[in-house]
Amino acid sequence: GCVLVVSVIEQLAQWHNSTVKAAMERLCNYIPGKYQIIHHIIDREMNADVVCHSLKLCNQDPGQPLCHLYPPPKVRKHSPGLFYALAHAGQKRQIKSFMGFSSVCAFPLLANLCEKIKYVIRNKLPFEDFDGDKFSTFPTLRGYHWRGRDCNDKNTTVYPGRRPDNWDVKSDSNCNGIWGVDPKDGIPYEEKFCKGADSQGVVLLGDSAGAHFHIPPEWMTVTQMSAKSFANLPMAFTDELDWPQFSEITGFLNSTIGGWTDSLYLRLRRRNRCNHRDLQNISQNGMLTAYLSFSLARNQLLDNPAIVIYATIGNDVCNGNRDTLAHMTTPKEMLSNVVQALRYLDSRLPNGSHVILTGLVDGRFLWDNLHDRYHPLGQLNRDITYSQLYSFLDCLQVSPCSGWLTPNETLRNLTSERALQLSNVLKEIARSEKFANFDIFYMDFPLRQTAEEWHKMGGEPWQLIEPVDGFHPSQIAAALGTSITWQKALHEWPQVLGKENPFNDQIEAIFKDQGGH
């Protein structure tokens, strides 16, 4: 974190031909809120690695390699250490150790926010939920960016996805906006338009790809940086740097992070307007099949069926350990974890639901298409490639995937081989396992088809990958993936999507007449 921030400050000074102090003040003015940073340690001649070691925010543990993002500075022939010459200059300036502030949550300004974020990460439930029905009127902190928006947060029997209470004659019990009685014939709107319409919700159980992890590149690209670049920073942090509102499965807002939004939820909603707001994204950064902790909001007796997408596409083979192969999920563990999760779903999902198991991705795509390209931090001076970034993260043992983000081709191949083995486990589960309340299907992660489709549109493969982390699917990849998944379902499992509601146009017309409510 220190290396990234100091890199941005130094590049701001370079780009605007200013002092480091002026660059820091510029950055602080861009960022919402007031934060104090000691600036006199940073020297234009010191690279970010040296600065952060001088501040003791970075250190070299005994017996461990010295991790650096930039090429090491040239030092005296007999210097006792790689960073001695410049780090010693920092010590002469009597820089206080920052060890006490190594955790951002130590700052009083952030302590309360950190506690809220810890709560939602631990429980995967909305922080603001006054009636305890697992739905919220607040967008972030696992609120309606992640689940359909509650329309009455003071009544636990009112929430998205339930079957209408007495056809919603008097009020909207399922938050789809359809309630009341048609004065022309006395028939409740919900009964007239939604009875027998195969209404169903969509639920995602996934990892950071499903949650749609994204760090805006403009946060690190000084040539694009302005106050506007950081306007979404508070929202991003309270959503754990995830953007589920634009995601492939549960996206529902127009994308503000590039590309466009297309999602399974939006297509189900267009197919049947009665499905409005019936979505749940129960994904978490770093989630493995062994730790899928469910906070599913579904009542078998009161609620509509759901389509559940089960997609942990990489974390069972991805870790930051030096001996990465030894820490990957085995096929036997995968079988046990997934069957256990499916049994849980069978005890919670209403009858008539569907589960789609998604295979793991072939992550060799990442190195093949990014390793020699410049990272956003390296674009100004053409000095940091993705290969360098991957090596830096791997050295720190915080790589999102040591098995794929490596120059070791043998290791990349072995990681893909294990991913294929785990996908075959999922495929066999879909073929052989039976459950009382849902049928089950399998589909490969559509990376190859996505790349082919994007190529037809004139795009480049690297644009399908998040530019800052160099690991997750981009907004473009998410939108194209939706289209491919939908077409597969239409041709192979039409029963999963339900029938098209013939009253959609009438519903929309009434909404417009009533001002869109």
Residue 77, pLDDT above cutoff 70: no
Residue 286, pLDDT above cutoff 90: no
pLDDT band at 86 (very low <50, low <70, confident <90, very high): very low
Burial of 155 (0-12, 13-18, 19+ CB in 10 A): middle
Share of the chain above pLDDT 90, in %: 75
Residue 484, pLDDT above cutoff 80: yes
**Dist. CA 148–CA 152, nearest whole Å:** 12
pLDDT in tens, 98-137: 333 345 676 666 677 777 777 877 888 999 999 999 999 9
Burial of 44 (0-12, 13-18, 19+ CB in 10 A): exposed
pLDDT in tens, 472-482: 999 999 999 99
CA proximity to 312, closest of 278, 356, 280: 356
Residue 99: per-residue pLDDT: 38
Residue 50, pLDDT above cutoff 70: yes
pLDDT band at 290 (very low <50, low <70, confident <90, very high): low
pLDDT in tens, 486-497: 999 999 999 999
Residue 119: per-residue pLDDT: 80
The string of DSSP codes covering 45-57 is TS-HHHHHHHTTS
What is the chain's mean pLDDT, rounded? 89
Residue 87: per-residue pLDDT: 45
399 is catalytic: no
pLDDT in tens, 189-232: 999 999 999 999 999 999 999 999 999 999 999 999 998 999 99
Tokens at 5, concatenated: 């921030």
Residue 143, pLDDT above cutoff 90: yes
What residues have CB less than 8 Å from 186, skipping those under 6 apart? none
CA proximity to 476, closest of 364, 202, 484: 484
**Dist. CA 132–CA 156, nearest whole Å:** 6
Give me the residue label for tokens 């990849």. 477
Residue 85, pLDDT above cutoff 50: no
Range 289-309 average pLDDT: 87
Backbone φ, ψ for residue 342 (5° rounding): -65, -35
Q: Which of 208, 247, 263, 387 is catalytic?
A: 208
Range 274-293 average pLDDT: 84
pLDDT in tens, 1-42: 889 999 999 999 999 999 888 998 899 888 876 444 545 556
DSSP label of 43:
-
Range 310-338 average pLDDT: 96
Residue 57: per-residue pLDDT: 82
Strands 279-283 and 306-311 come out as unpaired
Residue 189: per-residue pLDDT: 96
Contact 411, 324 (CB under 8 A): yes
> What is Dmax (Cα atoms) for the chain?
94
Residue 20: per-residue pLDDT: 87
Q: Which long-range contacts (CB under 8 A, 24 or more apart) does 12-21 make?
A: 12/222, 12/225, 13/44, 14/44, 14/222, 14/380, 14/381, 15/222, 15/223, 15/380, 20/44
Residue 452, pLDDT above cutoff 70: yes
Range 258-287 average pLDDT: 95
The alpha carbon torsion through 200, 204, 209, 211 (nearest 10 deg) reads 90
**Dist. CA 444–CA 361, nearest whole Å:** 8
**Dist. CA 228–CA 29, nearest whole Å:** 11
Contact 427, 359 (CB under 8 A): yes
Query: Is the model more confident about 292 or about 155?
Result: 155
From residue 43, give the alpha-carbon distance in Å to each of 10, 30, 196, 257. 8, 21, 70, 33
Contact 413, 364 (CB under 8 A): yes
Range 81-92 average pLDDT: 44
Residue 103: per-residue pLDDT: 56
Burial of 493 (0-12, 13-18, 19+ CB in 10 A): middle
Alpha helix ranges (H) inside 246-330: 264-271
**Dist. CA 303–CA 426, nearest whole Å:** 27
**Dist. CA 319–CA 328, nearest whole Å:** 8
Residue 364, pLDDT above cutoff 80: yes
**Dist. CA 192–CA 350, nearest whole Å:** 23
Crossing angle of helices 447-456 and 475-492, in 10° steps, is 110
Residue 43, pLDDT above cutoff 80: no
The string of DSSP codes covering 352-392 is TEEEEEEPPP-THHHHHHHTTSBPGGGTTTT--BHHHHHHH
Cβ–Cβ contacts within 10 Å for residue 156, how many? 14
Write down the pTM of the prediction.
Answer: 0.92
Three-state DSSP at 147 gives strand
Provide the phi-psi class of 240: left if phi over 0, else alpha when psi is between -120 and 50, else beta. left
What residues have CB less than 8 Å from 69, skipping those under 6 apart? 3, 7, 48, 49, 377, 384, 388, 389, 392
H/E element holding 439? strand 438-443
Residue 102: per-residue pLDDT: 43
Alpha helix ranges (H) inside 371-467: 386-395, 409-432, 447-456
Cβ–Cβ contacts within 10 Å for residue 109, how many? 10
pLDDT in tens, 398-446: 999 999 999 999 999 999 999 999 999 999 999 999 999 999 999 999 9
**Dist. CA 12–CA 28, nearest whole Å:** 12
Residue 502, pLDDT above cutoff 50: yes
Cβ–Cβ contacts within 10 Å for residue 407, how many? 12
Hey, which residues does 242 pair with through a beta bridge? Answer: 213
Residue 287, pLDDT above cutoff 50: yes
Range 345-357 average pLDDT: 97
